[in-house]
Copies of this chain bind each other. A is one copy, B any other.
Amino acid sequence: MEQLGRVLCIITGASRGFGRTVAKEMARLVKPRSVFIVVARSGDELRTLKAELAESDLEVRCVVVDLSLTEAPEMVVRAAKEASSPDIEHLILVNNAASLGDVSRFTKSFTSMAEVNAYLSSNVSSALCLTASVLQAFPEQSGLRRCVINISSLCALKPFCSWVLYCTGKAAREMMFKVLAEEEPDLRVLNYAPGTRETVPRSNGTRTSLLKHRQFSMRRSTIRTCLRCLVRSLGKIRTSSRCYRPSLALYRVALWG
């Protein structure tokens, strides 16, 4: 059950929902004295998660920050550097944090540059700059496997009425991670679209179901699928075709790196 080795795992949007469950499931797959850096805006929920994770023999650090802030990537990297140790075998960054944007309005209502800029900063720039900062701070080296996971959505591929910000942000992120996979031969880049979930990112303080409500058990199982894929990918030999775009039915998991 320790297939992932001694990891340094950074998870954004970890305070609840999908990110929180990823953290807890991942904790079952790592060696003792692994390090978890959990990132979110909500300090209280993060600290509860930390207490739960600490029951395993893990070092857990909370970084309470809004990822759209300029200083956010540096804060996360600083915490990771402080908590990390030389015997880490596996670096895993889970880019999960996302917001819905206002899904009650059509494209023609988005006339405010400030609103669109804020959304893109929070959902696209933040994922790019955090990933870049983490890869710089933990460069390629012998004995260290590195994996970046992008939590995606069908909205990255398919347009939905009134979801312009979410669809645009997810499409942008997918392309960004595809370019990364092309550039970094040592890196595993995993794209994962969990499908319908019980909770989706907050919009104006409310929780909205993307299509319909489902049971939490399904979310947990889909997260296990994601992690199984991650575990399997560790032993894989890279091929020249690094960019794997399966059919829509298989879209959930795409291994790009």
Contact = CB atoms under 8 A, between A and B. Distances in A.
Categorize the interface residue count of chain A: 35 or more
Interface stretch (A81-89, A111-119, A202-210): A111-119
A71 to B, nearest CB: 8
A222 B11 CA distance: 46
A72 B183 CA distance: 35
A106 B140 CA distance: 15
Contacts of A193: none
Interface string A174-205: 11101111111000000000000000000000
B136 A164 contact: no
A133 interface: yes
Contact of A70 (B72, B113, B136, B170): B113
A169 B175 CA distance: 9
A183 B107 contact: yes
A247 interface: no
A144 interface: no
Contact of A243 (B112, B135, B159, B173): B159
Interface in A32-52: none
Nearest to A184: B108
Contact of A132 (B111, B131, B183): B111
A167 interface: yes
B126 A113 contact: yes
23 contacts: A68-B113, A73-B111, A106-B184, A107-B132, A107-B183, A108-B131, A108-B136, A110-B129, A111-B133, A111-B136, A113-B126, A120-B120, A120-B121, A120-B124, A128-B168, A156-B175, A159-B179, A159-B243, A167-B176, A167-B179, A171-B171, A172-B172, A172-B175
Given A159-B175, A167-B178, 7 more contacts: A72-B113, A107-B128, A110-B132, A111-B132, A112-B129, A168-B173, A171-B172
